[in-house]
A and B are shown apart, each in its own frame.
Chain A
Amino acid sequence: MWKIEDYKVAFAAIGLIGTLLFASPTLGLVLHLPRGEKFSELWVLGPRHMAEDYPFDVKAGISYSVYVGVGNHMGSSAYYVVYMKFRNQSEPLPNATAGTPSPLPPLYEYRVFLQDGKSWETPLTFLFSGVSFVANYCTVESLIINGVAFRVDKSVSWDAEDSGYYYQLFIELWIYNAESGTFQFHNRFVSVWLNMTG
């Protein structure tokens, strides 16, 4: 048989648990549990919405398409800018180690607002015009992205090792920092290698 002290402890425990249960709605409003890791996603998919069949051997006058997407896991709504840039093999890419963007000017851009846990995706079509091959050099005069023509005038020499004239269409993700009031490179970029064939 239990002693009176044992019952006393049991009553005190029931009282404490009950009080905590009644206090839980208020505690829920006041206490905030730490969230998981904050991050954003940036992806590029092929024309069939899969991570395959990316355009590679490209020609002037033919339209190619990929899908670009962004996912927000920052814990609150975020304002992103997605910049499309175009480079030849000698021009710099973003530096992932230093977290710095490519100094090349952006061509096309998207401005995206996403709530936490949401994602966004859009088709991106591009075609080249004014492509010329002289000696061992290929020059691209303009790149048309989603129907908007950009004069790029980029030349590249023949890559004997990989047998091609290689360009890269790359996409940088920038995020707006509401505290500083500025856009910052979010240290995420994806790219598509393109071999100009005609």
Chain B
Amino acid sequence: MKLFTSFLLVFLIFGLAVGISFCVNEGGEAYPAVEGADNALKQAFAAVLEAERAGANVSSLIAELNEAGGLLAEAQIAYRTGNFNEALSKANQCSVLADGIMSDALSLKGSALADVQRAVMQALTFSMVGGLAFLTVILVVWRWFRRAYAGKLLQMKTEVASDVED
């Protein structure tokens, strides 16, 4: 009987210790996962913002960010309500999605910058060539006009009027 009680006591203590460590580990694993997902999403958003500032169309990336944001919100809520397994799972899904968004945003930013550079070069070429051509035409027309104007003045007859009575 004494042996049985001792065995039961040891079993209970062991079970309790395993249970506590399991709970602590669950919460302990979930917390950095949620934190990591939060940081990954912030970085992904910063990359999308940079791509947008570079002139890229980020509509599809914003939709993906909303998907990842939904997962992070679910992870945060699950963590708050003590559902650590769900928090861990949702946070991991969010991190994977956020990493994908970040790399997409970086490549989109690169292509947007190249597009902007091309557009600036085209606009600059148009402005310089067009502006110079226009000024040249104006100058040529002006010189022709000035000559024509001078000729017209020279061809004018001088009319003398007299009001002296005969």
Question: Is B127's CB under 8 angstroms from A26's CB?
Answer: yes
* One of B13-21, B25-33, B134-142 at the interface: B134-142
Interface footprint category on A: 35 or more
Residue of B41, B53, B66, B130 touching A76 (CB-CB under 8 A): B53
Question: Is B58's CB under 8 angstroms from A77's CB?
Answer: yes
Question: Is B49's CB under 8 angstroms from A111's CB?
Answer: no
Residues of chain A within 8 A of B116, CB atoms compared: 29
- Which A3-62 residues have C-beta < 8 A from chain B? 4, 7-8, 11, 14-15, 18-19, 22-26, 28-29
Flag whether A98 is at the interface (Cβ < 8 A). no
Question: Is A178's CB under 8 angstroms from B146's CB?
Answer: no
Cβ distance B75 to chain A, nearest Cβ, rounded Å: 10
Question: Is B42's CB under 8 angstroms from A77's CB?
Answer: no
Question: Is B134's CB under 8 angstroms from A15's CB?
Answer: yes
Tell me the interface secondary structure of chain A in the complex: mixed
Flag whether A176 is at the interface (Cβ < 8 A). yes
- Which B134-155 residues have C-beta < 8 A from chain A? 134-135, 138-139, 141-142, 145-146, 149
Residue of A105, A109, A150, A181 touching B42 (CB-CB under 8 A): A181
Interface residues in chain B, defined as those with a beta carbon under 8 Å from any beta carbon in chain A: 41-42, 45-46, 48-49, 52-53, 58-59, 62, 65-66, 69-70, 72-73, 76-77, 80-81, 116, 119-120, 123-124, 126-127, 130-131, 134-135, 138-139, 141-142, 145-146, 149
Please give me the 4 A-B residue pairs with the lowest Cβ-Cβ distance, nearest first: A111-B69, A22-B130, A25-B123, A22-B131
Please name 28 pairs of A and B residues whose Cβ atoms are closer than 8 Å in the assembled complex, sorted by A. A7-B146, A8-B142, A11-B142, A18-B134, A18-B135, A19-B135, A22-B127, A23-B127, A25-B123, A28-B123, A29-B120, A76-B52, A77-B45, A77-B52, A77-B58, A77-B62, A79-B45, A79-B69, A106-B80, A107-B80, A109-B76, A110-B69, A111-B70, A113-B45, A113-B48, A113-B65, A148-B77, A149-B81
